[in-house]
Chains A and B, each alone.
Chain A
């Protein structure tokens, strides 16, 4: 059974810092990995999708990497802003489109 772990559970940084969120998974036989953002009381917003054949994906200040063999992914956020404050969720697709989620990293960026 696939298990997804996210470290750290919470992170607080001052505005402008570059930061890295970590995600690890136990079964490397994945189809893809998706990073989401969730604001308090809201739904999930898809940030990046990395296919198993890819090493990284970039969108604006966000860069996600994937090392399938070691069961790891990182989400890099450059020049963080207070508007980046949210919970970031990593989800692994191990087949048939079903996602297994980590518990998330709660990020707070202070001005």
Chain B
């Protein structure tokens, strides 16, 4: 299995632009998680899907952030409009019923 796949690996954009991050979970996994990692705050859960349905989005910072999971093999995290404080590494993770989470390589986002 290829593991969790994320794209792009690096994204540099200007403040105010829309950013879309993509994730393909491991086949057969029924849960998908989006995390954000910064030096100051560490790793924080943004949103969690189970069977393609958003279960907990309490970590989404504000309305500029949105996430979708149209099917079991694809999810997007969108930031519109982006701000410099959104600069971070965004990770996608997935798991099955064993609860052991598997992480993707991350997308490093820089907003100038």
> Which residues on A are within 8 Å of B, measured CB to CB?
31-32, 34, 36, 41-46, 49, 89, 91, 93, 96-104
Contact = CB atoms under 8 A, between A and B. Distances in A.
Contacts of A32: 99
Contacts, number: 54
Interface of B: 4, 31, 33, 42-45, 48, 50, 55-56, 91, 93, 95, 98-106, 108
B104 A89 contact: no
B47 to A, nearest CB: 10
A32 B106 CA distance: 24
B99 A46 contact: no
A45 B45 CA distance: 17
What's the dominant secondary structure at chain A's contact region?
Answer: strand
Contacts of B103: 36, 43-46
Contact of B43 (A41, A45, A49, A89): A89
- Among A34, A89, A101, residue most surrounded by chain B Cβ atoms (within 10 Å): A101
